[in-house]
Amino acid sequence: MRLIWKFIINSIFGITIFLLVINITLPNVTDVFNMKFEPYIIFKDEKSNLIATYGDIKYPDIDIKDIPDNLPNALIALEDRRFWNHYGIDIFSIFRAIFKNFTSKKIVEGGSTITQQLAKNLLLHQSGKIPARSYTRKIREALLALKLEYYFTKEEILYFYLNRVYFGSRTYGINAACWKYFGKSVNKITLYESACLVSLLKAPSKYAFNAEKLNSRVSYVLDNMVDQSYITENQKEVALLNKSKLIHQINYKSIYYFTDWVVRNQIPSWISDMKVNLEIITTIDIKLQQHADKIASQIYNNNSENWNFEHISLIASDYQGKIKAMIGGVEYSSGGFNRATQAFRQTGSIFKFFVYLSALQNNITPGTLVDDSCPNINGWSPSNYYHKEMGFLPMEDGFIKSINGITVRLANHIGIENITSLSSYLGLSDTTENNLSISLGSSSASLLELVNAFGIIPNQGKKFKSFGITKITDKDNNQVLFKYIPDSKAEIIIKSDIAKEMGIIMKQVISPRGTGKSIKLPYPAAGKSGSSQEYRDFWFIGFTPNLIIGTWCGNDDYLKSMKLNRGPNPSVVAWKDFASGVEVNDSDIANWNKFFKSNKEYKAKLLT
């Protein structure tokens, strides 16, 4: 008997010491007030709709009284139906979990209460990582849960939990989750959306990106709420008839090509160095972005095999330079390579734009007659692909029909230094070569650079540079750090008459006699197609009465050529299909027609 008592006393002593040691390692319960998070960035479109988030998203705490009853009720119905009656630990749940773990011969269920889950969050922030499942971890959670229940009321525990729980995608707390997933404040959340948010808690990445599994989980939550008399069967049916989609299921991953570019290139360094929570209003039109994503996917699915290409990129900007849509490739991956801004590809015949613009600047009129035959300049004699030589043709025909012979003769007459100087002035960074081959596109450029360069024409000769931010706000202090102010005195790069002449020529590219003849739109447009050596790149850069649009397609491996097929190439098709889905108002069309109206006749003269 003495041995038994000795064993009992020693066991009690050992357990007490063990619990005291564990208690010493527990975080202070007051740490629940001061959980620290990494700074975040919230991205919104031009109409302030949420489009993306970076960092740890944590908005100001919401008082439990301001949270609709459906939210805590859904949480309790799913996670802890005896929440109001236990003291932090639910004995019934623990025994059920022990039985399941014993029969499974591994830990498959924890029996955690809401208070224990809050305790787990505190432990996570203490260590910076989620500890592996173990009985020691469960004991630590249980002890901390008892302390939380001792110091705080049930309402306070719900308040702390809902304002700190993790909702996936680095989003913490119900306030941030409501805005991230539904674009609305907590007090406007519906019953279905409440069940939806609670459903995400178990495995955010599993349910947030699988609508079928999420809907099944939401139905389960609503069934539990009916069983526990929080709602009626009729309320459940009404909720299921009024389903909401998560915002990221509506917006596409392609938006991160744009937001990555903004983070890397658009946020001023002095703002980045502040390490504060930021809200950025961008220039993006989310409807145009979704349209661009859909078009890019369709073009890829329908043409990639026949034309042998892996990626397609697109940029659409308005005349102010505000980027409305950006596609950097077929499939975005985290930190993915952006083929619209980071890829520098051989320009090919798209570079002819700079040759002909330079020609106009050097008083060579569109009607000037130029020999269209293949020249031979110091032993270099480029051929005229797909063009039957006719003798002397108007200079503008060289651009409209993309005739190499006319282009090279113009470049030789003007001087390649003048052409590369103009291209550099318009934003092209590759000026390493300085020979006549550049006139046919031997140099490289990014799609963004080309869009910026072509933008000078619809901008009537004024400097054009696209951008992605209209306002940056410090969310911690509600202070505006940056705001876009239109430049009323933009630098004039070329005379408006020259821009007009170039635009009139470019209009004819999209005509029955131009290389873009397959592009048929319900409003006027202009542009230039291009392909590089051995069909490694296809381009189309152009503008409509309200947008400047550029497209590219090709392979990341520059040595991998595409195939040539009958009909327009995928870049031209993408440009046409995207432009076809964009609304243009009558006033923009009237302004376009007024500026690009051809009312000048040129005397035919030979280029000498």
* 340-364 exposure pattern, b = at least 16 Cβ within 10 A, e = fewer: bbbbebbbbbbbbbbbbbbbbbeeb
Model pTM? 0.82
Q: Which one, of 573, 579, 580, 582, lies nearest residue 301 by Cα?
A: 573
Element (H or E) spanning 171, and its range?
Answer: strand 171-172
Classify residue 453 as left (phi > 0), alpha (psi -120 to 50) or beta.
alpha
Q: Which one, of 17, 22, 70, 32, lies nearest residue 149 by Cα?
A: 32
Main-chain phi, psi angles of 390, to 5 degrees: -125, -5
| 553: three-class secondary structure by DSSP | strand
Q: Are residues 209 and 309 in the same domain?
A: no
Q: Are residues 414 and 551 in the same domain?
A: yes
Would you say how long the chain is, in residues?
Answer: 608
| 556: three-class secondary structure by DSSP | coil
Rounded to the nearest 10 degrees, what angle do helices 154-164 and 174-182 cross at? Answer: 40
Query: Looking at residue 321, what is its pLDDT?
Result: 96
Q: Is residue 327 part of a domain?
A: no
Q: Which one, of 409, 402, 404, 401, lies nearest residue 368 by Cα?
A: 409
CATH number of the domain to which 436 belongs: 3.40.710.10
Q: Are residues 233 and 351 in the same domain?
A: no
User: CB–CB of 312/329 below 8 Å?
Assistant: yes
Q: Are residues 241 and 381 in the same domain?
A: no
Q: Is residue 181 part of a domain?
A: no
Q: Are residues 444 and 584 in the same domain?
A: yes
Pick the last residue of a domain from 227, 246, 265. Answer: 246
Q: Is residue 507 part of a domain?
A: yes
Q: Is residue 166 part of a domain?
A: yes
Query: Looking at residue 18, what is its pLDDT?
Result: 45
Q: Are residues 498 and 577 in the same domain?
A: yes
* Positions of the chain with pLDDT under 50: 7, 10-11, 13-21, 107-108, 127-129
| 375: three-class secondary structure by DSSP | coil
Element (H or E) spanning 315, and its range?
Answer: strand 311-317
Main-chain phi, psi angles of 370, to 5 degrees: -130, 140
Element (H or E) spanning 449, and its range?
Answer: helix 447-454
End-to-end CA distance of the chain: 122
Q: Is residue 294 part of a domain?
A: no
Q: Is residue 211 part of a domain?
A: yes
Domain that residue 399 falls in: 304-317+341-464+489-595
Tokens describing residue 121: 């969050």
Tokens describing residue 580: 């076809």
Query: Looking at residue 465, what is its pLDDT?
Result: 93
User: CB–CB of 575/540 below 8 Å?
Assistant: yes
Please give the Cα distance from 426 to 403 (Å, whole number).
Answer: 23
Main-chain phi, psi angles of 327, to 5 degrees: -120, 125
Q: Is residue 608 part of a domain?
A: no
| 345: three-class secondary structure by DSSP | strand
Q: Are residues 432 and 539 in the same domain?
A: yes
Q: Are residues 579 and 453 in the same domain?
A: yes
Q: Are residues 224 and 309 in the same domain?
A: no
Q: Are residues 393 and 528 in the same domain?
A: yes
Q: Is residue 473 part of a domain?
A: no
Pick the last residue of a domain from 246, 265, 294. Answer: 246
Beta bridge partners of 380: 377
At 229, the amino acid letter reads S
Please give the Cα distance from 570 to 588 (Å, whole number).
Answer: 28
Q: Are residues 222 and 309 in the same domain?
A: no
User: CB–CB of 510/517 below 8 Å?
Assistant: yes
Per-residue pLDDT tens digits for 296-341: 999 999 999 999 999 999 999 999 999 999 999 998 876 689 999 9
Q: Are residues 357 and 214 in the same domain?
A: no
Pick the last residue of a domain from 198, 227, 246. Answer: 246
Name every residue whose Cβ is closer than 8 Å to that of residue 263 and which is 6 or more positions away in sequence.
Answer: 41, 54
Name every residue whose Cβ is closer than 8 Å to that of residue 447 and which is 6 or more positions away in sequence.
Answer: 313, 314, 315, 339, 340, 341, 343, 539, 550, 551, 552
Tokens describing residue 154: 């049930």
| 373: three-class secondary structure by DSSP | coil
Query: Looking at residue 11, what is its pLDDT?
Result: 46
Domain count across the chain = 2
Angle among Cα 213, 214, 215 to the nearest 5 degrees reads: 95
Per-residue pLDDT tens digits for 418-462: 999 999 999 998 766 678 888 888 889 999 999 999 999 999 999
CATH number of the domain to which 112 belongs: 1.10.3810.10
User: CB–CB of 150/142 below 8 Å?
Assistant: no
Q: Which residue has the tokens 């674009």?
A: 183
